[in-house]
Structure 1
């Protein structure tokens, strides 16, 4: 009898373990489905999958709950469903403080007209990440959209006034100055990193020169970039931008096509394919430009700049 009881207990334990594994598999499957839908800009479907995954979490999985909810909140941001976004971020923050949740809930409050609550959440985000340059710039952009740049500027000054700890901080400051259109300060901040042949800084310095209309200096930087890091998609994209600025669209197209023939990251391919559309448009080959725009939108359905190009070319 004792042996039978032990066998029965073992069978029950095995069933429980099996159920746990199946639940875990369902959770991971739902999460993966959500991420896949998110990448295809199918945000409503993604939210449904993330909710299904969240429902399969238990109380011993706060980190998993937070992870899934952050994905869901990002989708709600894209959908501009600010009431749901606010609720999802509140759910995250009930599990523990999280800078991204504070930021996204701040956006929701701002869009819903709750400016005091928005500022409190943005303050919370920056308290947790006081040197997060990208977050400070994103907060500024949110206030800029509602014509309250002066409020957003407080967050930029918070990070800009901090003493730089090295070239990475200089690069981040240069990025902010570039966004603000203060190209002289951007160049000044980037100069040490460019001299040290830092990859990101060299690319950004090329953009600074292009924004100033100095295509020759931009071309020199991108050539130095190519000499330093080899024939990369980024170098050819930068050189193509110089050719485009000079109105040499045939050479720009050659540069782009050379770049596309190389080993590419997804972001590099996106940049090259987008600029290819612009080149054909500048050449007034609207039929090819429209075809390229259609292909681009199939690959990157959530790309706002690509959508604008496609909408424009659809009217030609």
Structure 2
């Protein structure tokens, strides 16, 4: 199959076929494992080895595309994902739709909203009840200043999956970001009014939080925190945020520390605790929290934890340590332009 020139044609073509044989893909499997652990440089090396060994080109290009996308190199991601779609010769399956979702995300990151919408158009032409595609196309419409079209897509997404409260909250955030706060709040309130009989305490707590009803949010989230089958980390993070939102940092710190005393392998909660301690002016405590978070070695959080620890040293006025740590940080993340600019500032202190 030859490489098509437009996102629409490629997306449509890819949705009719699938990737080839799953045999002989040792390096491909390694590459996707590295992506799962957020080790994108290693992932790209594995896909290079896979190419040398003649493994499935469709999967190689797909893997590279995802690695580039997650590394912030969206233009390279587009090139690889288009190549994956062009090499796609198997039977259609969920992977084909998934590749198109990544392609649309890459276009969106590049500000090429029309191309992203074309990909979602192609998905919806074959999966007309895909609520995620409607939601994401709506986000592109908002970015393109097409509010009415976005509203229509959001309404369709909610109608198709009215109990997907994570998606509804994301729709709220998108509308609020573009200045449609009243409309966004109305969507949340409707979800609460119509779904309270079957919503979980965590879902009620989330929506109450974004509606600004902090006392109700805390009540629901405290109940969720004590539920046996509820995943605790997201509950704890939002519960702490209800305190932070009201300026009650002591409450937030207590929530985070209580959780960490029983679950010390949560880099995300250590990071939030450290940020809260910075707001309190407890810079030594923040540094300790960030270091404990880094020790967990969560590849997804390590970069943020390192940068936040540097920030804590800056707030302390310890610019020498901050500068030394920034040099180490840039060795690991040389493409962080904001950190490069901050390093210039630190060099003058």
- Does the CA-based 8 Å contact 1:290-1:314 persist in structure 2? no
| Residue matched to 2:27 | none
Q: Which residue of 2 aligns with 1:12?
A: none
Out of 59, 65, 71, which is 2:102 matched to?
A: 71
Mapped partners of 1:221, 1:290: distance in 2: 32
Given the two structures, how large is their TM-score scaled by the length of structure 2?
0.72
Q: Using the alignment, how far apart are the partners of 1:173 and 1:75 within structure 2? A: 33
Q: Any residues of structure 2 matched to 1:143-154 within 5 Å, and which? A: 143-154=175-186
Aligned residue number for residue 246 of structure 1: 280
Identify the match of residue 124 of structure 1 among 112, 134, 156: 156
User: Structure 1 residues 235, 85: closer, same or farther in 2, change over 3 A?
Assistant: closer
CA separation of 1:141 and 1:219: change in aligned 2, threshold 3 A: closer
Within 2, Cα distance between the matches of 1:114 and 1:237? 37
Equivalent position of 1:219 in the other structure: 253
1:280 aligned partner:
313
- Between 229-238 and 179-188, the greater mean CA deviation after superposition: 229-238
Cα separation, partners in 2 of 1:287 and 1:87, compared to 1, 3 Å: farther
Task: Pick the aligned partner of 1:51 from 82, 90, 97.
Answer: 82
* 8 A Cα contact 2:239 2:252, kept in partner: yes
Deviation at 1:147, TM superposition (A): 1.5
**d(CA) in 2 for partners of 1:232 and 1:118?**
37
Q: CA deviation at 1:296?
A: 5.3
The structure whose residues are more often helix, as a share, is 1
Equivalent positions of 1:1-316 (< 5 A) are 21=21, 25-58=56-89, 60-61=91-92, 63-97=94-128, 98-161=130-193, 162-163=195-196, 165=198, 169-196=200-227, 198-230=232-264, 232-234=266-268, 236-261=270-295, 263-286=296-319, 288-289=321-322, 292=325, 311=341, 314-315=344-345
TM-score (norm 1): 0.78
Larger relative contact order (CA 8 Å, sep ≥ 6): 2
Tell me, in whole angstroms, the C-alpha distance in 1 between the residues paired with 2:344 and 2:160. 45
CA contact (8 A) 2:196 2:204 kept: no
Report the Cα offset of residue 51 of structure 1. 0.9
For residues 229 and 149 of structure 1, the distance between their equivalents in structure 2, rounded to whole angstroms, comes to 37
Change (3 A) 1:127 1:210: same
Return closer, same or farther for 1:30/1:136 CA change in 2, 3 Å cut-off.
same
Unaligned runs of 5+ residues in structure 2 are 1-19, 25-53
Higher mean C-alpha deviation, range 293-302 or range 179-188:
293-302
The more displaced of 226-235 and 129-138 is: 226-235
Q: How far is the alpha carbon of 1:266 from its aligned partner?
A: 3.0
Deviation at 1:69, TM superposition (A): 0.5
* RMSD of Structure 2 on Structure 1 (CA): 3.1
2:233 and 2:269 in contact (8 A); partners too: no
**Larger deviation: 227-236 or 84-93?**
227-236
Unpaired runs of 5+ residues, structure 1, are: 1-19
What is the aligned residue count? 291
Distance 1:207 1:81, change over 3 A: same
Cα distance per residue 1:79-116 (max 9 Å; x no partner): 12101111111111112132222112112222223322
Q: Displacement of 1:148 after TM fit?
A: 1.5
